[in-house]
Amino acid sequence: MRSFTAIFTAAAIFAASNSRAAFNADINKTAEAIAETIVQFQNQGLIPSPVPSEAFQPTAALTLTYPKTGVVALGQRVSADAVSSTPSWSLDIPASQAATFQNKLFTAIVADPGAPSSNYSGLVVRHALVNNLTLSSDGTLKNTSAFVENYMGPAPPAGSGPHRYMTLIVAQPSGFSAPANLSQPNTPLITNWTLSQYLSQANLGPIVAASYFIVQNGKTTASSVTTVPDLNTASISATAAALETKFSTSTAAASTTSGASPSSSGNKGAGFANVQLSGVSSVLGISAGAALAGAVALLL
């Protein structure tokens, strides 16, 4: 008859194996979603302008949910009416990254850089701005203050091509204070906003999650609109693999730094640290310039 110790040991090994499998499944699923975000933003030409490379460091997958439509997927084409009301936002965070997001505040920005264009100015139409979002236990982002700019649904001009409406979730530093000109509720929509300038002016930390959808009004007639290349699925797989490696090895690093003192108010994205994914540029077959450098950076 097997001893109690042997039975207990076998049960412990089985439980540990199942726990590890579940942990890996969590990492793989979320890493793939984040990887697709990185590659799609790169493919759409949204990095490095209007989204600055050094700020684009997603470590969570963002879900957009609209009252009329439900979940709107990354890169999905929708009607303007389907996304006309204020959405809810939620984050899918790898288990190894959960501590990084605890007790943090976030800013959400919705902006439209227009359709892909050969003469893009770098400016965006700002459609929403809200600060001091908190993360609920179920991953939902809750606003603890009024929107600075209330959500304004898409209204692309006829013939102007497929507009990309981005939602960016940005880490706030401790002691964050919004710039005076963007601190009060009911600030009107602006059509010529520079995103990178605002991120710098507000001392905001990295973009930790992002998504976008496409709205088009009629057939494209604008001559400056360019064609977006087909999405490279191999790039997504390579990026996901690199992310999985970083996520699966980051728990020990997080434990090492858990006793560190809080970051100062001048430190962008207090509590987030940057770890570059070495070699991803060559894996993806993309130059190792600034555009990709920010896109594949991790906050571990």
Euclidean distance between CA atoms 137 and 90, whole angstroms: 10
Q: What is the pLDDT, as a whole number, of residue 272?
A: 54
| 166 closest CA partner among 33, 299, 45 | 45
Read off φ and ψ for residue 72, nearest 5 degrees: -110, 120
Q: What is the pLDDT, as a whole number, of residue 113?
A: 98
Q: What is the pLDDT, as a whole number, of residue 44?
A: 98
Instruction: Show pLDDT as tens, one digit a residue, over the chain (300 residues).
Output: 555 444 334 433 334 344 444 445 566 899 999 999 999 999 999 999 999 999 999 999 999 999 999 999 999 999 999 999 999 999 999 988 999 999 999 999 999 999 999 999 999 999 999 999 999 999 999 999 999 999 999 999 999 999 999 999 999 999 999 999 999 999 999 999 999 999 999 999 899 999 999 999 999 999 999 999 999 999 999 999 999 998 887 755 554 444 433 333 345 655 554 434 433 333 333 333 333 333 344 333
Q: Which amino acid is residue 122, in one-letter code? A: G
* Structure tokens belonging to residue 262: 């809080």
| 172 closest CA partner among 198, 211, 150, 193 | 198
Indicate the SS3 state at residue 11.
Answer: helix
The label of the residue with tokens 């059509």 reads 191
What is the CATH superfamily name and number for domain 32-300? PEBP-like (3.90.280.10)
Asked if 168 and 207 touch (Cβ cutoff 8 Å), the reply is yes
Cis peptide before 48 (omega within 30 of 0): yes
Spell out the residues 6+ positions from residue 299 whose beta carbon is closer than 8 angstroms to its own: 57, 59, 97, 100, 171, 206, 208, 269, 272, 273, 274, 275
Asked if 33 and 52 touch (Cβ cutoff 8 Å), the reply is no
Spell out the residues 6+ positions from residue 134 whose beta carbon is closer than 8 angstroms to its own: 105, 106, 141, 142, 144
- Which string of DSSP letters, residue by residue, matches 80-114? TGGG-SPPEEEEE--GGGHHHHTT--EEEEEEE--
Q: Dihedral sign, CA of 11, 13, 19, 22?
A: negative
- Which string of DSSP letters, residue by residue, matches 148-200? SB------PPTTS--EEEEEEEEEPPTT----GGG-STTPPPEEEE-HHHHHH
Residue spans of the domains in the chain: they are 32-300
